[in-house]
Amino acid sequence: MERVNRVSVLLVMIPAALVLAGLGIFAFVIAAKRGQFDDLDTPALRAVFDEDDMLAKTKTTKDTDQDSVE
Amino acid sequence: MTVAEMLSTPTGHNVVHMPDDSAQSILCDHCKLPVPQGMIENEAEHQFCCNGCKSVWNVLHGAGLAGYYSVRDAIDPDAQRVSSTNGTYEELDDPSFQSTCVENLPGGLAQTDLLLEGMHCAACVWLIERLPTVLEGVVESRANIRRRTACVRYNPAEVKLSDVARALDRLGYAAHPARGAAAREARVKEDRKFLIRVGVAGAIAGNVMLLAIALHGGALEGMAETWKSTFRWYSMGLGVLSLLWPGRVFFIGALAALRTRVAHLDIPIALALAVGGIWGSYNTISGRGEIYFDSLAVLVFLLLVGRWIQHRQQRNASDHVELMLTLTPTSALKVNDDGSTSRVPIEAVELGMLVEIEAGGSIPADGIIETGETSLDTSFISGESRPIPARIGDTVVAGATNLRSPIRISVTAVGDSTRVGKLMHLVASASADKAPIVQFADRIAARFVLTVISLSIITLTYWSIVSGFATGIEYATALLIVTCPCALGLATPMAMSIAMGRAAKAGVLVKSASAIESMSKPAMMILDKTGTITMGQTRLVKYECDHQLLVMCASIEAHSNHPIARAIAESIDEADRLEATEINQTIGAGISGTVNTQTVEVGSPDYIGSRYPLDNQSQALVDSMIKDGLTPVVVYADHFGFGVLGIGDPIRDDAGESIRALQSVNWNLRLCSGDHPQIVASVAKEVGIENASGSVSPEAKADCVRDLQSNSDRSVVMVGDGVNDAAALAVADVGIAVHGGAEASLEAADIYLTKQGIAPLVALASLASHTMRTIHISLIFSVCYNAIAAILAMSGVINALIAAIIMPISSLTVVALSTRKWKG
């Protein structure tokens, strides 16, 4: 009986761990269904350049462009 | 400059061209290629090699996107930049076409996927996603580098689809709408489901294993009965979840295989999963014996990973083929009643309509020539490599290319009733009738199931008699689980997907894994001639005259757009051609002109012979060229005498070598072509193929494949490029479309070459046999593992711990084996 008491924390921990795993699976399924894993190559390239670096060279034209868009 | 001076220089290059050295160093501001002399604008600040580059540059600077150049130079300074094609794309606006590729979103927006040529790096992605700043009315543009597509959202009220395509084209990416939006939607959903199954199976397997470690540890160290039972119940919950959710596919696959009575590896897998699951649950509930849920969950996960990897590899290949298939919709130039023309999609062409075909355009429907005279390239349907002259009243077939001058035809057949349409029907029915190749692993599966079931019945009977029914069931279940063909189920997809990746690097896209298997043993290969062994273009193949005379001849021929004249003109660099005057052309016979005060006459042997009788030597040359299947052209100039040029369809550089390489590994090669038998025979002799037939109609080609299939137990591989090969490609065990082939041949083929020539076939044959050897080795390993496990299970020694150790080890061995090095 004493042995059961000492490890009885498991009664809470196992369900807690499984609930966490369940949340992970749930998040994964949602992400996959929304297409977050559809394209694994392009986002890596998207991050290569800072918007500012790219546009610095043509700042004036870009500014007027943005104004007209907004 | 006198002729004597000209002759004194060996090449004639420096004399004529007189290049301005400084001009050579001027590079195009967009693509960094040298600017041709005629394009240099001395006053301009920026120089361009062509109008395409100029328009891309202007668009980029106008929209404030010049940062592209700095990024581009930073990533890949040597990459060639694409230039604009300046197409109008107006045929994209036709509602009947849009219904197939444009999706309407709520809020009045429309969305379409456009396949883009030339997208390949981060700068391209950046530029394409800035489309909204270039074109008002475009809301969003998302690039996908792997599929080379952009998903564009736009407001149809503000901007037309043709404007979007034109804007992308002006940025340097020729755009083609992707067809079949619905089919792609379904495929994306399937991909996501696949991934979800793998992810969920992995998560469950991980958690069950954690519980299993506790259980196995408890079995060694001692564990309170309450806890043991709790852990077993948790294991059961997770294990059953794994079998019913991600593992469901194996049961579905096995049921489908049973229903259609074909052997499939899913059957033994499903059997092991079902028996293991049921017996494990029974043991959990009754609180005795082994539960196998850890092994089962890992099994499901590993098998799914293998299949997912193969699925991705196949999807990659089919995506690439899709890009090649999705061309801008074929449109036709309709001639209106008032004589003006307007572009309509091909679906709108009706019987009796008058349609104009520009030089270089392809004929949209069967018809009769009403006005104009030209030559046609019908090689795609007949295999005939020589251009065919066509006059008023002649019948033309849809798909032929108009080579020389504009014609107008009155339409006599459209769509399915055209010759091409009927051929495509043949292709469709051949593809549908084709028996699927039963993969090696599946063929094994049948024997596997029988062996395992008989062994488990023996085990069950023996142990039931010796120590009771419960023990019998226990050991038989253990046997079924440990002999589950996990390693084998993993070996085939892994080896196949690695082979597909290697093949793609060697220039071969493989659409189905079974094609690799059929290529693994030397088989019969039927090769098409035009476009496969030969270039499929009219070129100057050889000449018997002074090089200077050839240069002069080419300079005159540059003024004609007859296909033969173009072939001669293109044999000499544009820059090296001389100035020709007093051009005088006799349609269908010859052309004359003056180059450097020399009068040069070029024409058919008959035409020249009627004006200057040919000497014996030239006549002999003409005869030998005809014998070689070439079209002879005679050139005459006073100072040089006669020269004879041979025009034909040159054999690809790598053809002879590749064919010898295949023959040396026992492939049986045949040549089968729609071209003239004489030409076919001469090509066959040149490349070293003994068995050749000419004048074969597209239908007869398919029959030829069927004959070989029924008369031989080897598989039949068909290699071709044209619509005339499509039916044969569909019928053959493996259809291979060569690079640059027609759309129809791409759809019919299982394998597609992405490099010019047929050299990739040699690599493919070697890779295929390497892959099958790898799979055989893996099979031997997994059979050994299974045999050991089976003996242990039958003798009652095995327990869940041993099973849990043996299975992953065998799977890992097999995965390691499948990466075996290939020397190609």
ipTM: 0.74
The CATH number that applies at residue B387 is: 2.70.150.10
> Is pLDDT at A1 greater than 60 in this prediction?
no
Nearest to B725, CA basis, from B432, B503, B426:
B426
The CATH number that applies at residue B694 is: 3.40.50.1000
Q: Do B226 and A4 touch (CB under 8 A)?
A: yes
Which of B156, B179, B202 delimits the end of a domain? B179
Question: Are residues B642 and B516 part of one domain?
Answer: no
Question: Are residues B714 and B633 part of one domain?
Answer: no
Measured over the CA atoms of residue B250, residue B252, residue B255 and residue B260, the dihedral's sign is: negative
Question: Are residues B165 and B72 part of one domain?
Answer: yes
Of A37, A39, A58, the CB nearest to B66: A58
Q: Do B122 and A49 touch (CB under 8 A)?
A: yes
pLDDT of B766 reads 93
> Is pLDDT at A52 greater than 60 in this prediction?
no
Question: Are residues B149 and B65 part of one domain?
Answer: yes
Question: Are residues B304 and B159 part of one domain?
Answer: no
pLDDT of B435 reads 60
pTM: 0.74
Question: Are residues B639 and B519 part of one domain?
Answer: no
CB-based contacts of B130: which residues, under 8 Å, 6+ apart?
A: B63, B65, B141
Q: Do A65 and B146 touch (CB under 8 A)?
A: no
Question: Are residues B548 and B531 part of one domain?
Answer: no
Number of folded domains in chain A?
A: 1
Most A-contacting residue of B58, B61, B65 (CB-CB within 10 A), to test interface: B65
- Please, which residues 233-262 of chain B have a Cβ atom closer than 8 Å to chain A? 234, 238
**Distance (Å, whole) CA B687 – CA B651:** 8
Question: Are residues B195 and B239 part of one domain?
Answer: yes
Chain B's closest residue to A23, CA to CA, is B203
pLDDT of B17 reads 36
CA distance B109 to chain A (A): 17
pLDDT of B793 reads 85
Q: Do A58 and B65 touch (CB under 8 A)?
A: yes
pLDDT of B113 reads 84
Number of folded domains in chain B?
A: 5
Question: Are residues B659 and B520 part of one domain?
Answer: yes
Which region holds residue B571: left if phi is over 0, alpha if psi is between -120 and 50, else beta?
A: alpha
Chain B's closest residue to A57, CA to CA, is B67
A58 and B CB contact within 8 Å: yes
Token digits of residue B680: 């076919």
Chain A residues lying within 8 Å of B71, measured CB to CB: 49, 53-54
Question: Are residues B746 and B669 part of one domain?
Answer: yes
Which of B622, B648, B674 delimits the end of a domain? B648
Nearest to B266, CA basis, from B252, B277, B255, B250:
B250
In total, the C-beta contacts within 8 angstroms joining chain A to chain B are: 100
Question: Are residues B657 and B530 part of one domain?
Answer: yes
Average pLDDT, chain B: 82
Inside any domain, residue B41: no
Q: What is the DSSP string of B172-207?
A: T--EEEPS-HHHHHHHHHHHHHHHHHHHHHHHHHHH
pLDDT in tens, B592-634: 888 888 888 888 888 888 888 888 888 888 888 888 878 888 9
Inside any domain, residue B318: no
Question: Are residues B148 and B206 part of one domain?
Answer: no
pLDDT of B377 reads 79
Q: Do A46 and B66 touch (CB under 8 A)?
A: no
Percent of chain B at pLDDT above 90?
A: 15
Q: What is the DSSP letter of B79?
A: P
pLDDT of B237 reads 95
Nearest to B668, CA basis, from B689, B646, B685:
B689
Token digits of residue B786: 């299974």
Q: For residue B370, what are the CA distances in angstroms to B77, B373, B407?
A: 52, 9, 8
pLDDT of A30 reads 95
- Please, which residues 2-61 of chain B have a Cβ atom closer than 8 Å to chain A? 61
Chain B's closest residue to A60, CA to CA, is B64
**Distance (Å, whole) CA B745 – CA B620:** 40
Inside any domain, residue B23: no
pLDDT of B207 reads 93
Residues of chain B with pLDDT under 50: 1-24, 327-328
Q: For residue B784, what are the CA distances in angstroms to B477, B781, B790, B806?
A: 19, 5, 10, 11
pLDDT of B6 reads 37
Domain of A53? 2-69
Q: Do B64 and A10 touch (CB under 8 A)?
A: no
CA distance B737 to chain A (A): 28
Domain of B268? 186-312+441-495+771-818
Inside any domain, residue B226: yes
